[in-house]
A and B are shown apart, each in its own frame.
Chain A
Amino acid sequence: MILNNPKSAIFLEPVPPQSRQPHKVLVVDDDPVIRDMMVDILEMEGYTATVARNGFEALELLHQDESYLVFLDMLMPGMSGKELCRELESEPHIRQRHVIVMMSALDRIDEAMRCKVEAVMPKPFLVDDVVRVLEPYQETLQ
């Protein structure tokens, strides 16, 4: 499962399951710089992104009748990405609608991988990493 090059995004599920057909991209990060950059990257790649500043905001969005691909920061004040994942475990019908990509510093990558997410993207990342993560869901997104 663990790729040879941990510096790029890691897919924890090789093939995206049929049930997961995210239509929108959600960026969850407490840092405005990162949020802005993600929005810039996604726009340049032709996607529209929704943003949330912490786990609570994200959770609210995820409960709505929509299927998201979530770029989730692992460490955040308020509710962290980790906590959000744990929260969603008790709501599998909601969890299974979404694809979660955990953004984490390299030194905490193992922690991120234990959160039962579909992919892990180490920080700092390049546009290519984002693109690679988006690729499997290209069709349903936009």
Chain B
Amino acid sequence: MSIATWGDAEPQANDAYPMKLLKKLLQQMMQQFTAQGGVLALYDETLGQMVVRLHLRMRLTSPAVVGSPVESEETVPLARHASGSGEVPASSTGHLRRLSQPLTELEEITVEQHAVLFPPGTIYAHGHDLIGYIWRHNEPDIIRHEEYLRSILPARQAPPTSHGTPTWYLGVPIQEPALPTGDLERKRRVIGVVILYQVSPGLSFSQKHRHDASQFAERIALYLQNDQLQRSQQAMNSYMKQLQQISMAFPTAVQLRKLVEDVYAFVKSVIGPCSMLLTFYDRDTDRLYDVFAVDKGQPSADLPEHPLVFTPDKRPMWWHVAQEKKTPLKLSPDRYEPGASQYEELFKGTWGDQSQAASFLLLPMRMFTRVVGTLSLASARPDAFTPNKIQVLETMVQIITVSIENAKLYDRASRMVARARHREESLATMNSALQAISTVLNVSELLHKFVEVVGQMVKAEMCAFFQVRNNEEKLVARAIYDTSGKYRSNGSNKERHRELIEMISLPFKGSLLSDLIESDTFFYLDENNIEELERISDEAGALFLRETRIKRMLMIPVRYQNEMVGILAVHTPGEDRIFRPEEVSALLAISAQAASAIRNAELFSQIQDANVELQRMDKLKDEFIVTASHELRTPLSAVSGYASLLKRQSTRLTPQQVWRYASKIGAAAQQITELVGNMTEAAKVGNIDKKLDLQFGPVQLFAAAEMATHMLTVSIEQEIKLQIDPNLWVYCDGLHLKQVLTNLLDNASKYSPPGTKITVMAHALKLSQLPDDQIDFSQLVDGNDPEVVLVRVCDEGEGIPLEDQEKIFDKFVRASRSLTTTVRGTGLGLYICRRYIEAMGGRLWLEVSIPGEGSVFSFYLPRLEAPVPMEESHDPEQS
């Protein structure tokens, strides 16, 4: 407060010493030695020189030169007058009051009094002036003023003139207190100098004074040491308090910036303004991160957000200190010495240009045995880092290390919590997605939902599902989700959209896809794979691969148990995206779920189809029963009618009449038998996969046709014409061929008016000459073109309505008007015929049917060369 800087003196100097105590000590010393003035200079570590800290003297009588009232307050009355023997100096030589006067007071010389000898704040180098002289000699000395002027006072300096010139000086060095075990012989360090002086001519110092003064100085030294200890204790306490505050801030305030700002404030309170650099080392990445820097008191603005990253080899010095020695390093490099280049990394870098700094301190941040970083400090003062301060800073670094590690742990924990929360959220999304897809029973709808959900879940711009088809030969796109909307359905024509998408197919079996699928649960296709795939894909597939600009595509096989259902392909066009492990695992999970959902949906649709089929069959069966009962009724009527007639007229009937009626009954019974036989036959032929019991052999077509005709001519009203070359032989089961022909002829007669013609024709030809839709192309492989016999049954009947032309080959189905027509039959005929012919290696179809003009039913069977030349034999019974 009252003492301001003098020259380069450091601003805190006045607070660094116990001024009150020193003043008291100096007063006492003056009293003891009856000195009229006393000067106390203390060694300043920073400057390396002695600085006058206190100057007291007897108050001058002249009020004019008394210091300002503020300063005077500091002065204290002497408790006891030292010596009454002093004379009052003449007013011309001094303005001191007489010592004998009870009101005599001490005056403290202040800075303002420039002219005074040894003003406070004055700096003295070793050997300079009286103070420097005592310092150098390191012994108490008594010097007369003349002697002082002659040999001690620097020549160029004019002697102080005002306020009375001293006559005698007593100079005492204040030596560092001796350690109890210290070497007594060794000269101790001088930590201060006391100069006592007399102004009045009559007063001087004796040799005894010299000795006593030494002891007194010793006392001052002890006081100073004691005070210093107390101070460092206090400082330590306050540091500790601050540190506690810093560490208390954790982990609630984990912001790094806040922490390092606190740290810098603390460091500043310990060593004054400085430069600071906080560096972290990450073992996992083997990188250094400069996270905070202060360049001569100016914090770097954007470091915490954007730390600078270095490899350890860029910072050998740092590495050596932090990771090898692991102890603080204090250094004051002399830049001009050889080998100074090893410190180069300190002079510049993240914390700016530090080449003007006088001292550096590198403090490793130790966490157990691991070093997680360093705090580097640079100060303009060479002595900024005293052992005490290093100790304090080390403690601080220890605390912040723990704090930072805690903060990191906290951060990691909260990140984990956040990740867990995120995971929970994505699980919830996934769950609802799964619910969404597992409730859809329509396969196509399900797949669309599936790709959409997946695309949104991992924020991919394209997601497609390919289904395995055609015995694993290819993968057919079933649903595509893309944010560009290119493959989106416009909603109006779903069927068309589905068809377009399903045109996109990729090869599967034997391609690189099947190889890759074998090896892993998921894989990526890179540009090379895509190119290869493009080459072997069909047009639509290749176009898809090209147009969607695939850089890297994630492929997830969708399996149900061990069976491949399809592949899920996810990517973002033009992006080389690699999905995070948690994304992949989510996709795998949803794909597994989707697999069973797809399977369920497929089963459901199969069951539905089967159900529809069953319902259709059930209806057909009902119709059949109605038809069959209708068909049975007519012959039954004949049987019961004729039987009752025979019974009623038994006595009147002629034998011819009996024979005729009995024949009618027999024919009707035969008809019933046939109907029942047809029904059981249909049940036997039954399902398409049932094997028929066939007896293959050469059959003469003409003979078979003739037999069939014979069976019918009794009961029909049409004429049957056979245009068949007896040399045409076929390879089949003769009995079944006859049944087919009978059926066809019977049908023709049922639907034709009486008196019309029914013609059976046959030709030999090559299989390839048949209509395309009736050729079994599997028989045409390897240049084969077997000979067949084509048989046509033509009638002149009413024809078959267009809507019935396909249905008539179904089991139980008859033309729609069956109940109101004359036509009889169970509706089993054509179904059975077709099954027989197919079982014998041929085909049967309706070639043409024109309403009102007639129908032509055709079939073919494999031709066989006639086993024996046939000329006249028209009646081969053996067929």
Contacts and interface: CB of A to CB of B under 8 A. Distances in A.
A124 B641 contact: yes
Contacts of A123: 633, 637
Interface stretch (A12-20, A30-38, A56-64): A30-38
Interface string B629-660: 11001111111111011011100110000000
B501 interface: no
Given A32-B717, A105-B630, A124 B636 contact: yes
A75 B647 CA distance: 29
B661 interface: yes
Interface in A53-76: 75-76
A40 interface: yes
B821 A127 contact: no
A99 B412 CA distance: 107
A37 B637 contact: yes
A77 interface: yes
Given A40-B661, A127-B644, A31 B820 contact: no
Contacts of A107: 629
Contacts of A124: 633, 636-641
Contacts of A105: 629-630, 633
A43 B478 CA distance: 76
Given A44-B649, A123-B633, A31 B641 contact: no
Contacts of A40: 642, 645, 661
A77 B822 contact: yes
Nearest to A124: B637
B822 A76 contact: yes
Interface residues of B, number: 29
Nearest to B817: A77
B820 A80 contact: yes
A37 B649 contact: no
Contacts of B629: 105, 107
Given A77-B822, A105-B630, A34 B638 contact: yes
A77 B652 contact: no
Interface size class of A (residues with CB under 8 A): 20 to 34
B637 A34 contact: yes
A37 B717 contact: no
A108 to B, nearest CB: 10
A89 interface: no
Contacts of A38: 641
Contacts of B633: 105, 123-124
A82 to B, nearest CB: 10
A37 B668 CA distance: 12
B819 A75 contact: yes
Interface string B805-833: 00000000000010111100000000000
Interface in B768-825: 817, 819-822
B664 interface: yes
Contacts of A34: 634, 637-638, 641
B634 A33 contact: yes
A41 B635 CA distance: 16
A128 B645 contact: no
A121 to B, nearest CB: 11
A127 B648 contact: yes
Contacts of B821: 77
A18 B399 CA distance: 134
Contact of B664 (A30, A36, A125, A128): A36
Interface string B465-478: 00000000000000
A76 B644 contact: no
Contacts of A30: 822
Nearest to B636: A124
A33 B648 contact: no
Interface string A10-29: 00000000000000000000
A44 B667 CA distance: 21
A128 B637 contact: no
Contact of B820 (A36, A37, A41, A77): A77
B862 to A, nearest CB: 40
A44 B652 contact: yes
Interface in B652-692: 652-653, 661, 664, 667-668
Contacts of B636: 124
Nearest to B626: A107
A37 B644 contact: no
A58 to B, nearest CB: 15
Interface string B140-155: 0000000000000000
A76 B820 contact: yes
Contacts of B653: 44
B648 A125 contact: no
A126 B652 contact: no
B538 to A, nearest CB: 55
Given A44-B652, A125-B641, A127-B645, A33 B635 contact: yes
Nearest to A77: B821
A31 B640 contact: no
Given A31-B822, A33-B664, A124-B633, A41 B641 contact: yes
Contact of B640 (A33, A75, A77, A126): A126
A60 to B, nearest CB: 18
A124 B639 CA distance: 9
Interface centre among B633, B637, B653 (most CB of A within 10 A): B637
Contacts of A128: 644, 648
Nearest to B647: A127
Contact of A31 (B634, B664, B667, B819): B634
A125 B637 contact: yes
Contacts of A44: 645, 648-649, 652-653
B645 A75 contact: no
B668 A33 contact: yes
B865 to A, nearest CB: 44
A106 B661 CA distance: 25
A85 B59 CA distance: 161
A36 B485 CA distance: 76
A118 to B, nearest CB: 21
Contacts of A126: 640-641, 644
A33 B714 CA distance: 12
A34 B664 CA distance: 10
B717 A127 contact: no
A31 B636 CA distance: 13
B821 to A, nearest CB: 5
A32 B717 CA distance: 10
Contacts of A32: 717
B362 to A, nearest CB: 112
Interface centre among B636, B652, B653, B820 (most CB of A within 10 A): B820
Contacts of A127: 641, 644-645, 647-649
A131 B649 CA distance: 12
A32 B668 CA distance: 12
A126 B640 CA distance: 6
A37 B652 contact: no
Given A44-B649, A127-B645, A127-B648, A33 B822 contact: no
A31 B635 CA distance: 10
Contacts of B645: 37, 40-41, 44, 127
A53 to B, nearest CB: 9
A38 B647 CA distance: 15
Interface string A103-142: 0010100000000000000011111100100000000000
Contacts of B668: 33
28 contacts: A31-B822, A32-B717, A33-B667, A33-B668, A34-B638, A36-B664, A37-B641, A40-B642, A40-B661, A41-B641, A41-B645, A44-B645, A44-B652, A75-B820, A76-B820, A76-B822, A77-B820, A77-B822, A80-B820, A105-B629, A123-B633, A124-B637, A125-B640, A126-B644, A127-B641, A127-B644, A127-B648, A131-B648
Given A33-B668, A107-B629, 4 more contacts: A31-B822, A33-B635, A44-B653, A127-B645
5 closest residue pairs by CB, A with B = A126-B644, A124-B637, A127-B644, A124-B640, A30-B822
Interface of B: 629-630, 633-642, 644-645, 647-649, 652-653, 661, 664, 667-668, 717, 817, 819-822
